[in-house]
Every structure is written in structure tokens, then in C-alpha cells.
């Protein structure tokens, strides 16, 4: 399959598809962190290049429910949320047969449509908690591959005792938190690469 991994600089999902023999390329405004096929630029410019599958990770800064309270406190931030939603809609409307949009719990659910699936990294072998939503087009829901013991109340390696993410404030916190967990990336390549 010809696979576009949109809004990915890490190469994690791209490399999972490459390992399965697919023709995969990542695309982001940032350069890739991992050598491999990567288009540095605006993904909207390459959506019509004959992709069989697109997995898109639009930036969640202005979409995530956890930060929407700032829209009434910071001038101009609400407009950025509107722009982010327009970008998500453009990705959903791309001329690509199979599409998965990935984001945390966000206003996409209330403003565009509810997600088709919500997964956790610990369902795929990573000792981490991070609700991950998928909006799917012509793709099946991901099936768990390696569910770790415990439930949604179990504290995972990436959490403090109160359940917050352990990563403290830093210049690259956003970048570290946005990388797709390897177990989820592998499940995408294995399951959606055969759809």
C-alpha cells in the first residue's frame, strides 16, 4: 500500500509500515527525527498523490479538551481552535480511500463528529495511559494485541500517583507527548496495512 503518515516527525508509524513492506512516507512541517521517506512541508499540498491510506495526527494544541479553557482567557486562541478544526476537516475530506485521524480527547468529538474508537497504549503492550481517539474512514477498529494487566484505574509508568503525566514543563514536552506508542503503531501497520 502507498501510505501517508500526516503530521508525523518521529517516523514511528511510518517505520512500522515500512517494516511491513509498504511504501510509506511521513509528512510534517518539522524535519523527521528518524531517517526515512519524509516530506517536510504542508500535508494539504500532497493529499492528491494517489495514497491508499492516510494516518493523520493533527496537532492537538488547540483541539484537546484539556486546553480549551484557555480559549476564553487568551486572546486569539479560540480562532486557532477554529483553524485547527478546519485543518482536521480538510484531512477527513482528503481524496484517500482509507483514513484514520488520531487525536486525544478533543473538540473534534463535539464539533465534527464523535470518534469511532478510543484506545489505550496498555492494550498494545506499552505500560502507559493516554486515551487515543480514532476517526475512521473505510478502516476497521484496531484490535488489542497485548493487553497488560490492570484496568483504567491502574497507574501506568507514564503517570504520577494522581494520574497526571510525569513529564514536567520543558521546551520539548509537547514533542515527547505527541509520539505514537510503538504498540499502537505496530497494530496500525499489521491490521490496517492488510485492510
Q: Which of 13, 10, 6 is nearest to 39 (CA)?
A: 6
Please give the mean pLDDT across all residues of the chain: 91
Range of the domain at 138: 2-192
Cα separation, 27 vs 11, in Å, equals: 9
Q: Tell me if 80 sits within 8 A of 67, measured CB to CB.
A: no
Give pairs for 91-94: CB < 8 Å, separation 24+: 91/6, 91/43, 91/47, 91/54, 91/56, 91/58, 92/135, 92/137, 94/47, 94/51, 94/54
**CATH number of the domain within which 186 lies:** 3.40.50.150
Q: Read off the pLDDT of residues 1-34 as tens digits, 9 standing for 90 and up.
A: 999 999 999 999 999 999 999 999 999 999 999 9
Confidence check: pLDDT of 70 > 90:
no
Per-residue pLDDT reduced to its tens digit, 113-135? 999 999 999 999 999 999 999 99
The whole-number pLDDT of residue 62 equals: 80
Q: Do 126 and 158 meet the contact criterion of CB atoms below 8 Å apart? A: no
Report pLDDT for 176: 52
Please tell me the predicted confidence (pLDDT) of residue 133: 97
The closest alpha carbon to 7, from 145, 148, 101, belongs to 101
How many Å apart are CA 60 and CA 81, to the nearest integer? Answer: 9
Q: Into how many domains does the chain fold?
A: 1
Percent pLDDT > 70 in the chain is: 91
Task: Count CB-CB contacts under 10 A for residue 75.
Answer: 8
Give the predicted TM-score (pTM) of the model. 0.91
Amino acid at each position: 500500500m502507498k501510505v501517508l503518515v500526516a503530521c508525523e516527525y518521529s517516523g514511528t508509524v511510518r517505520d512500522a509500515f515500512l517494516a511491513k513492506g509498504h511504501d510509506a512516507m511521513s509528512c510534517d512541517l518539522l524535519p523527521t527525527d528518524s531517517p526515512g521517506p519524509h516530506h517536510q512541508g504542508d500535508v494539504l499540498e500532497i493529499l492528491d498523490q494517489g495514497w491508499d491510506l492516510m494516518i493523520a495526527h493533527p496537532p492537538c494544541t488547540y483541539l484537546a479538551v484539556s486546553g480549551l479553557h484557555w480559549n476564553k482567557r487568551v486572546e486569539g486562541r479560540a480562532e486557532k481552535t477554529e483553524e485547527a478544526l478546519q485543518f482536521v476537516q480538510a484531512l477527513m475530506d482528503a481524496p484517500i480511500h482509507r483514513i484514520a485521524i488520531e487525536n486525544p480527547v478533543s473538540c473534534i468529538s463535539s464539533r465534527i463528529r464523535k470518534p469511532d474508537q478510543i484506545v489505550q497504549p496498555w492494550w498494545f503492550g506499552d505500560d502507559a495511559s493516554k486515551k487515543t481517539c480514532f476517526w475512521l474512514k473505510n478502516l476497521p477498529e484496531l484490535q488489542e494485541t497485548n493487553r497488560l494487566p490492570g484496568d483504567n484505574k491502574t497507574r501506568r509508568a507514564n503517570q504520577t500517583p494522581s494520574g497526571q503525566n510525569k513529564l514536567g514543563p520543558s521546551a520539548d514536552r509537547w514533542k515527547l507527548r505527541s509520539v505514537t506508542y510503538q504498540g499502537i503503531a505496530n497494530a496500525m501497520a499489521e491490521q490496517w496495512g492488510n485492510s
